[in-house]
Structures are given as C-alpha cells and as structure tokens.
Structure 1
Amino acid sequence: MTETIGALIGLFGGAALGLSGWFFERKRAHKNRGLDERYYLIRDKARATSWQVTLVTMYILFFLVILKVGISVASALGILLLVQMGSWASLVFYYQAKY
C-alpha cells in the first residue's frame, strides 16, 4: 500500500513540478524575448519528427506482438513514452544546432 501511495505522489508530484517549471521558464523566456519564430520552428520540427520516430517504434512493437514476444502493455507504453520524450528532447537540441 505504501508503494502505491509513493508511486502516486511521484506521478502527480512530478507532473506538477514539470508543469510549473514549464510555465515559469516560458514566462521568463517571454520576458527576455526568447519566444520568436525560430523557437516555434524548432519545436514544431522536433515534435513532428519525434512523432515519426514514435510511429516507427509502434510498428516495431506491433511486430514483436505478432511474433508472440512476451511484452506487457505497461512495458510497451513505457517504451513508447521513453521514445517519444527522448526523441523530442534530442531533436530539439539537433534542430537548435542546425538552425
């Protein structure tokens, strides 16, 4: 029971801290004129490309399910979340260096 409570606190606490950090950093960037066209271009390109990477990962996971590889739903969703967020973050850095 205490593990469940700790997991819920971590889940909602992490979401609350992440959203508050996102809000305050956007507010600070807006004050320093950091939210320009380049910012939106980089974020849009990174988001689109990360969805393509996630789609390829989904096809790979479906292929593993067809081959009857023992993968649970929770691990598949965890893999998808990790791929989505990891590819998005790394592609933001890539596009910042490129543009």
Structure 2
Amino acid sequence: MTETIGALIGLFGGAVLGLSGWFFGRKRAYKNRGLDERYYLIRDKARATSWQVTLAAMYILFFLVILKIGISAASALGILLLVQMGSWATLIFYYQAKY
C-alpha cells in the first residue's frame, strides 16, 4: 500500500510540477517577447516530426509483438511515451539550431 501511495504522489506531483513549470515558463517567455512566430514554427515542426518518429517506434513494437517477444502493454506504452517526449525535446533543440 505504501508503494501505491508513493507512486500516486509521484504521478500527480510530477504532473503538477510539469504543468506549473510550463505555465510559468510561457508566462516569462511572453513577458520577454519570446513567443514569436519563430517559436511557434519550431514547436510545430518538432511536434510533427516527433509523431513520425513515434509512428516508426509503433511499427517496431508491433513487429516485436508479432514475433512473440515478451513485451507487456505497460512496457510498450512506456517506450512510446519515452520516444514521443524524447524525440520532441531533441527535435526542438535541432530546429532551434537550424532556424
């Protein structure tokens, strides 16, 4: 029971801290005129490309399931979440350097 409570605190605490960081970061960027069209262009391109990377990861995971490699649903969803968020963050840095 203690592990479940700790997991729930971590899950919801992480969400609250992440959303508050996102909110205050955008508020500060707006104050410093950082939310311009370049910002939106970079975020849109990174989001679109990260979905393509996630789609490739889905195909790989489906292939592993077809081959009957023991992968649970929780592991597959965790991998997809990691691929989605990791590729999105990496591509934001890439497009910031490119544009």
Shorter chain as denominator, the TM-score bin is over 0.9
Name the SS of the counterpart of 1:68 in structure 2: coil
How many residues in Structure 1 have an aligned counterpart in Structure 2? Answer: 99
Question: Could you list the per-position Cα deviations for residues 53-82 of structure 1 after superposition, in whole angstroms to 9, with x for gaps in the alignment?
Answer: 000000000000000000000000000000
The 1-side partners of 2:22 and 2:68 are apart by: 40
Q: Which runs of 5+ in 1 are unaligned?
A: none
- The structural deviation recorded for 1:39 is 0.1
- Which whole-Å deviations, capped at 9, do the CAs of 1:33-60 have from their partners, x for residues lacking one? 0000000000000000000000000000
Identity %: 91
What's the TM-score, normalizing by structure 1?
0.99
2:87 corresponds in structure 1 to 87
Corresponding residue for residue 59 of structure 2? 59
Q: Distance in 2 between matches of 1:34 and 1:14?
A: 26
Ranges of 4+ aligned residues in structure 1 off by more than 6 Å: none
Q: Distance in 2 between matches of 1:31 and 1:65?
A: 48
> Which residue is equivalent to 2:18?
18
CA RMSD of aligned residues (A): 0.3
How many Å separate the matches in 2 of 1:2 and 1:49? 40
TM-score normalised to structure 2 length: 0.99
